[in-house]
């Protein structure tokens, strides 16, 4: 059994943050593939067998993959829109019933352009569903204590139900200290170790599930993809995507394997998966021959690659080679327009959940 020479790096928090920034910086660019989902906003469940799919071509060398694309497109943009509609209705119902509007506070330190855009997109998303957003902009040379003071005041503010600290923070600050200062009841990002621990443990419930992996599972649910008893492979083991995605799949009774930069023969393991979630940040790393015919693919990667045909000089691609995957898989998320829009939708949902819990509103 020869080792593969394929090497890749994990999505580190910083590169993942970069990806998220990229994603949202370009969220308004109308670069979306043609979608196959019908006119309804709520997609119909997929009707296919995960294990056998006689209509799929057998696994063949890449060069001879001439079959037409046949995978269903998992339309994250449409699902995210539907979730925003649902959140809007709940926010409105809550306001009418008990006079409370959910509030999200975002702390932005410094003047990174990408961070500012990301925060602006969150703010816009809040506005669109009726969630109140508060923003604290601190200069780059603020002290750690000043940031902690803001967190403390948001912790105590009853109109704030979720607190986000925009990453990365300036280098002179201790990120762990600052994130740990956020009250766990308002940690809508779900990154607190106590939340992650509860996510890992059977019989315990996390207060919040991290937004991006939650969005991945939500896509599987809304497309009616069975998870229980299925083989799932998560590629990448970052704290913010890969690891919590694996824990979520396990909670739903999938048999989970985690592939990472130290894995030998990642393609061999990936090929066993009924469900693939990839979050490594390597453009087109997962080729058609990594994929079991009929598998469902959730591609979290958003990677810029040079493209002289694009006016920007680049385009965004996923971790998965979409052209090849769409000929082998039964369903696949596009990039952009797949997982990307789900992250903010889940953040809005988490903020709503927090406000409901704090005010004991069902």
Report in angstroms how near the CB of residue 227 gets to its own copies at its nearest.
Answer: 10
CB-wise, 197 or 224, nearer to its own copies? 197
CB-wise, 281 or 336, nearer to its own copies? 281
Residues in CB range of 12: below 8 A, 6 or more apart: 238
Contact 190, 221 (CB under 8 A): no
1 binds its own copies (CB under 8 A): yes
269 binds its own copies (CB under 8 A): yes
7 binds its own copies (CB under 8 A): no
Q: Which residues pair with 105 in a beta bridge?
A: 134, 163
Q: Is 189 assigned a catalytic role?
A: yes
DSSP string, 129-152: HT-EEEEEEE-TT--HHHHHHHHH
Residues in CB range of 354: below 8 A, 6 or more apart: 102, 161, 162, 185, 186, 188, 207, 208
Instruction: Select which of 72, 77, 122, 327 is catalytic.
Output: 122
Report in angstroms how near the CB of residue 232 gets to its own copies at its nearest.
Answer: 10
* φ/ψ (deg, to 5) at 64: -100, 10
Q: Which of 38, 45, 139, 197 is the binder for its own copies (CB under 8 A)? A: 197
Q: Which residues pair with 164 in a beta bridge?
A: 106
Report in angstroms how near the CB of residue 39 gets to its own copies at its nearest.
Answer: 37
CB-wise, 136 or 243, nearer to its own copies? 243
Q: Scanning residues 243 to 262, which ones bind its own copies (CB under 8 A)?
A: 243, 247, 250, 253, 255-260, 262
Q: Which of 38, 45, 224, 229 is the binder for its own copies (CB under 8 A)? A: 229
Report in angstroms how near the CB of residue 185 gets to its own copies at its nearest.
Answer: 15
Q: In this structure, how many other beta carbons lie within 10 angstroms of the beta carbon of residue 55?
A: 10
Instruction: Select which of 166, 186, 230, 327 is catalytic.
Output: 166
DSSP 350: H
DSSP 286: B
Q: Which of 80, 125, 196, 248 is the binder for its own copies (CB under 8 A)? A: 196
**What is the Cα–Cα distance from 13 to 329, expressed in whole angstroms?**
29
Q: Which of 36, 51, 95, 312 is the binder for its own copies (CB under 8 A)? A: 51
What distances in angstroms separate CA 346 from CA 33, 83, 95, 335, one per listed residue? 22, 8, 20, 18
Report in angstroms how near the CB of residue 335 gets to its own copies at its nearest.
Answer: 24
Three-state DSSP class for residue 114: helix
Contact 328, 67 (CB under 8 A): no
Residue labelled with tokens 């979630």: 277
Q: Is 166 assigned a catalytic role?
A: yes
Report in angstroms how near the CB of residue 330 gets to its own copies at its nearest.
Answer: 16
Stretch that binds its own copies, among 78-86, 141-149, 238-246, 350-358 (CB under 8 A): 238-246
Catalytic residues: 122, 166, 189
Site residues for its own copies per CB under 8 A: 1, 51, 192-204, 228-229, 231, 237-239, 243, 247, 250, 253, 255-260, 262-264, 269
């Amino acid at each position: 059994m020869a080792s593969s020479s394929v090497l890749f790096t994990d999505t580190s928090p910083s590169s993942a943050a970069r990806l998220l920034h990229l994603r949202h910086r370009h969220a308004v660019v109308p670069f979306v593939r043609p979608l196959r989902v019908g006119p309804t906003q709520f997609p119909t469940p997929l009707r296919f067998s995960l294990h056998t799919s006689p209509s799929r071509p057998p696994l063949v060398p890449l060069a001879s993959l001439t079959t037409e694309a046949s995978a269903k497109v998992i339309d994250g943009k449409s699902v995210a829109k539907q979730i925003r509609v649902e959140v809007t209705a709940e926010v409105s119902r809550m306001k009418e019933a008990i006079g409370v509007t959910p509030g999200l506070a975002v702390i932005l330190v410094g003047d990174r352009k990408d961070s500012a855009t990301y925060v602006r997109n969150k703010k816009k998303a809040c506005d669109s569903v009726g969630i109140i957003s508060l923003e604290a902009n601190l200069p780059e040379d603020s002290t750690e204590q000043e940031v902690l003071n803001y967190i403390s005041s948001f912790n105590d503010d009853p109109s704030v139900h979720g607190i986000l600290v925009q990453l990365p923070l300036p280098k002179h600050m201790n990120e762990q200290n600052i994130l740990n200062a956020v009250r766990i009841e308002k940690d809508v990002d779900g990154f607190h170790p106590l939340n992650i621990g509860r996510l890992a443990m059977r019989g315990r419930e996390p207060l919040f599930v991290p937004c991006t992996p939650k969005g991945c599972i939500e896509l599987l649910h809304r497309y009616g993809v069975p998870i229980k008893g299925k083989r799932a492979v998560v590629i990448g083991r970052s704290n913010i995507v890969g690891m919590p995605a694996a824990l979520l799949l396990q909670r739903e009774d999938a048999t989970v394997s985690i592939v990472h930069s130290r894995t030998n023969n990642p393609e061999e393991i990936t090929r066993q998966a009924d469900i693939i979630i990839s979050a490594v940040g390597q453009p087109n790393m997962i080729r058609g021959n990594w994929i079991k015919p009929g598998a469902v693919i959730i591609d979290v990667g958003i990677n810029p690659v040079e493209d002289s045909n694009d006016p920007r000089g680049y385009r965004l691609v996923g971790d998965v080679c979409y052209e090849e995957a769409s000929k082998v898989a039964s369903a696949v998320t596009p990039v952009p327009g797949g997982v990307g829009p789900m992250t903010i939708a889940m953040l809005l949902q988490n903020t709503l959940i927090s406000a409901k819990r704090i005010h004991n509103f069902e």
